[in-house]
């Protein structure tokens, strides 16, 4: 926690220093605002040094913390001030709609960006706002199903589940036998606490049932039979012949879920790709015992994966736009995307890197992830998404906590979202 605060503070101080220098007539330089762990920021420094060596353009790194809330606050502070710095920044995919709607981000269409080098669905659904290209995926994430391959084999299953019904059936058969040795063993662990991760999980369940949150950007479809069916299934995982732990709706975020599976206490796990390397680390209790697969659907082949990841954008207020565009193209180039995959284990935004022999040798799982990312579902790209997320979190959590039925929760959520939209002038 301390290093997060230190990096957050250093980012604010550096941002203030840059504003002061620019105000005093110093030689302008490009600025790039990015957060992350110390090793990630150090690697970005090396990439920026290489960019400077190639182009002669100096770049200052504005460091942010790993905390996404603090990162968003720092970016909003900069953009609301309409200052030229930072020129380039990384945004969580869920923030793009809000910041594009505020006219803070520079469209990239005029800078000779090759859209076809990236996942088409991601470019169209996440990085395009009002028919303008706003950002590019620097690295991407999607929800995955992790499973104990050794335990499925032991109990006679050749393949992971394709449907949520199959997942429950497998878990119900395997749980009694495994609990004889491990009373803390569970069938399926997933992110059910009241935070943004719950929305990512709910979107996957809802979409795989044929539902969703919005049609387009202006028609909420929260209160519909497919979503009711999916939310009932989520609740029953915890409360009806439970295969998910009772603290799912109070405590289960990414790391709580990962550690439960990592310590040998779960058959299935929903998580992001980052967990793969940790499950297969030299000191992992489940090393060599884990498989990954697309998330199931309510019918075969209809599974859904929520799109995650960080996207690179340019500030509309930059006074070095050609140089900023050059930096964006450099950081999303094949060469740099390959380095990000090999050095940091990130999933590239470019499709050609998924065919690279060196990358596949280092991370064979990327071969399977490509199809997952092709079908990833973004959260609504709307300016008031954060408010919608808070409403959905509250009401979905009420059902998971057994305080409301799925019908009550989704009806209330639908009505509140409609009222919210009225406040934005949308009827």
* This prediction's pTM: 0.84
Q: Which residues pair with 91 in a beta bridge?
A: 311
Contacting residues for 182 by C-beta, under 8 A, at least 6 apart: 264, 265
Locate tokens 């203030």: which residue?
A: 16
CA nearest 369: which of 266, 299, 286, 276? 276
The predicted-structure confidence for 171-189, as pLDDT tens digits, reads as follows: 999 999 999 999 999 999 9
What DSSP character marks residue 116?
G
Read off the tokens for 370.
């490509």
- CA 230 from centre of chain: 21
What is the predicted pLDDT for the residue at 427?
72
Q: What's the rounded mean pLDDT across residues 388-394? A: 97
Please, which pLDDT band fits residue 24 given cuts at 50, 70 and 90? very low
d(CA 188, CA 242): 9
What is the predicted pLDDT for the residue at 27?
54
Q: What's the rounded mean pLDDT across residues 250-258? A: 95
CB 5 within 8 A of CB 65: yes
Locate tokens 């609990």: which residue?
A: 179
Give the DSSP H or E segment for 133. strand 132-133
What is the predicted pLDDT for the residue at 26?
52
The predicted-structure confidence for 116-163, as pLDDT tens digits, reads as follows: 999 999 999 899 999 999 999 999 999 999 999 999 999 999 999 999
Please, which pLDDT band fits residue 290 given cuts at 50, 70 and 90? very high
What is the predicted pLDDT for the residue at 293?
93
CB 237 within 8 A of CB 388: no
SS (H, E, C) 226-278: HHHHHHHHHHHHHHCCCCCCCCHHHHCCHHHHHHHHHCCCEEEEEECCHHHHH
Which range is most confident: 119-123, 175-179, 305-309, 359-363?
175-179
C-alpha distances (whole Å) from 406 to each of 189, 210, 221, 232, 331 are 20, 16, 14, 6, 44
How does 94-121 read in b/e, with b if 16+ C-beta sit within 10 Å? bbbbbbbbeebbbbbeebebeeebbbee
d(CA 72, CA 78): 10
Question: Residue 65: is its pLDDT beyond 90?
Answer: no
Q: What's the rounded mean pLDDT across residues 391-415? A: 99
CB 67 within 8 A of CB 77: no
Task: Tell me the domains of the chain and their CATH numbers.
Answer: 30-141+308-377 (3.40.190.10), 144-304+383-424 (3.40.190.10)
CA nearest 86: which of 36, 140, 12? 12
What is the predicted pLDDT for the residue at 374?
87
Contacting residues for 20 by C-beta, under 8 A, at least 6 apart: none
Question: Residue 69: is its pLDDT beyond 50?
Answer: yes
A 10 A CB-CB count for 123 gives: 19
């Amino acid at each position: 926690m301390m290093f997060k605060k230190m990096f957050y503070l250093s980012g604010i101080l550096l941002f203030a220093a840059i504003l002061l220098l620019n105000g005093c007539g110093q030689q302008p330089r490009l600025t790039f605002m990015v957060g992350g762990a110390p090793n990630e920021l150090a690697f970005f420094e090396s990439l920026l040094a290489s960019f400077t060596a190639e182009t002669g353009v100096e770049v200052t790194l504005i460091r942010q913390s790993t905390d996404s809330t603090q990162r968003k606050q720092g970016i909003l502070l900069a953009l609301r001030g309409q200052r030229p710095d930072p020129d380039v920044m990384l945004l969580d995919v869920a923030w793009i709609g809000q910041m594009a709607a505020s006219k803070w981000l520079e469209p990239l269409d005029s800078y000779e960006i090759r859209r076809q080098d990236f996942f088409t669905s991601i470019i169209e659904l996440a990085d395009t706002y009002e028919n303008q290209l706003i950002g590019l995926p620097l690295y991407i994430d999607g929800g995955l199903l992790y499973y104990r391959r050794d335990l499925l084999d032991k109990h006679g299953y050749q393949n992971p589940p394709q449907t949520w019904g199959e997942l429950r059936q497998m878990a119900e058969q395997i749980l009694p036998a495994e609990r004889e040795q491990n009373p803390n063993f569970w069938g399926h662990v997933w992110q059910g606490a009241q935070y943004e991760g719950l929305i990512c999980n709910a979107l996957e369940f809802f979409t795989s049932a044929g539902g969703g949150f919005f049609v387009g950007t202006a028609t909420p479809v929260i209160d519909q039979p497919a979503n009711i069916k999916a939310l009932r299934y989520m609740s029953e995982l915890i409360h009806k012949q439970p295969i998910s732990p009772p603290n799912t709706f109070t405590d289960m975020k990414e790391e709580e879920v990962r550690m439960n599976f990592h310590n040998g206490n779960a058959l299935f796990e929903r998580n992001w790709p980052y967990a793969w390397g940790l499950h297969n680390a030299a000191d992992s209790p489940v090393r060599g015992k884990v498989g990954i697969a697309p998330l199931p659907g309510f019918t075969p082949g209809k599974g859904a994966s929520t799109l995650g990841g960080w996207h690179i954008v340019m500030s509309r207020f930059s006074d070095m736009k050609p140089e900023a565009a050059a930096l964006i193209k450099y950081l999303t180039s094949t060469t740099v995307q390959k380095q990000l995959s090999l050095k940091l284990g990130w999933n590239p935004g470019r499709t050609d890197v998924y065919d690279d022999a060196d990358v596949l040798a280092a991370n064979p799982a990327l071969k399977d992830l490509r199809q997952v990312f092709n079908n990833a579902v973004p959260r609504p790209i709307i300016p008031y998404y954060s408010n919608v997320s808070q409403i959905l979190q509250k009401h979905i959590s009420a059902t998971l906590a057994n305080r409301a039925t799925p019908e009550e929760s989704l009806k209330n959520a639908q009505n509140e979202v409609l009222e919210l939209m009225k406040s934005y002038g949308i009827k």
